[in-house]
A and B are shown apart, each in its own frame.
Chain A
Amino acid sequence: DAKTTQPTSMDCAEGRAANLPCNHSTISGNEYVYWYRQIHSQGPQYIIHGLKNNETNEMASLIITEDRKSSTLILPHATLRDTAVYYCIVRVPYYGGATNKLIFGTGTLLAVQP
């Protein structure tokens, strides 16, 4: 089962920041938080990941709380093309950390409004 909880849907105005929350209260110390998004009729697209520290790349910023029980994905200036389902995933290591498993939940449908 997925180890994350996300709102089913959110709206955001074009040009404004989109803040997508995620709860992962049972996360373990060596488990990373990953974010993917899936635009209609396409495969999931990797956005960003983090362990403890906040992370930023060209697509988004990831803010992880100090206790690591929740995180927020921030799209600084949302556009209509950012309309998609956003998945927050706790990456679970197994086989002694030699490999990892992504367990997707149902995600958050972000609708960017003009």
Chain B
Amino acid sequence: EAGVAQSPRYKIIEKRQSVAFWCNPISGHATLYWYQQILGQGPKLLIQFQNNGVVDDSQLPKDRFSAERLKGVDSTLKIQPAKLEDSAVYLCASSLDPTGYGNFGNGTRLTVT
């Protein structure tokens, strides 16, 4: 079975620019998560989707971050405008349902200069 696909693998932007990350979950997985992992820390949940609806976005900085999962499959996470402290790895994970364990992609490493 194909795993969770993420792109791009790496991205370098200047502060105040915009950036978008894409995630394709495992086929049939209804639950999708976006995590932020700052160097030296564990992943932190940003947002959780169930199909195309948001279950939890309490940790998402909504003034600059947005995410969507329009058709209940692929998802995009956007940052606009980026700040230096947004430099991190952005991980996408999916599971069959909200009670299942998450299968993670390899992430997008974002560097903001």
> How far, in whole Å, are A101 and B98 apart by their CA atoms in the complex?
9
Determine which residue in A41, A99, A105 has the highest number of CB atoms from chain B within 10 A of its CB, and name it: A99
Stretch of A16-24, A44-52, A58-66, A71-79 contacting B (4+ beta carbons < 8 Å): A44-52
B contact residues, total (Cβ < 8 Å): 23
Report whether A99 and B104 are in contact in the complex, using a CB–CB cutoff of 8 Å.
no
Do A34 and B101 form a contact, CB below 8 Å, given A44-B43, A99-B50, A106-B41?
yes
Within 8 Å CB of B45, what residues of A? 101-103
Q: Is B48 within 8 A of A106, CB to CB?
A: no
Q: How far is the CB of A88 from chain B (nearest CB, A)?
A: 10
Interface string of B21-46 (1 = CB under 8 A from A): 00000000001000000001111110
Name B107's closest neighbour in chain A (CB-CB).
A43
Q: Is B79 an interface position by the 8 A CB rule?
A: no
In the complex, are the beta carbons of B98 and A42 less than 8 A apart?
Answer: no
Residues of chain B within 8 A (CB-CB) of A44 are 43, 91, 93, 102, 104
- Judge whether B4 is part of the interface by a CB distance below 8 angstroms: yes
Flag whether A13 is at the interface (Cβ < 8 A).
no
On whether the beta carbons of B56 and A42 are closer than 8 Å, the reply is no
Contacts of B102 in A (CB 8 A): 44, 46, 102
Question: What chain B residues lie within 8 Å of A99 (beta carbons)?
Answer: 31, 48, 50, 55-56, 98-99
Contact between B91 and A43 (Cβ–Cβ < 8 Å)?
yes
- 9 nearest CB pairs, A to B: A104-B42, A43-B104, A99-B98, A46-B101, A44-B104, A104-B43, A43-B106, A42-B106, A43-B91
Can you list 8 A-B contacts with CB-CB less than 8 angstroms, sorted by A residue number?
Answer: A41-B106, A43-B104, A44-B93, A46-B101, A99-B98, A99-B99, A106-B42, A107-B42
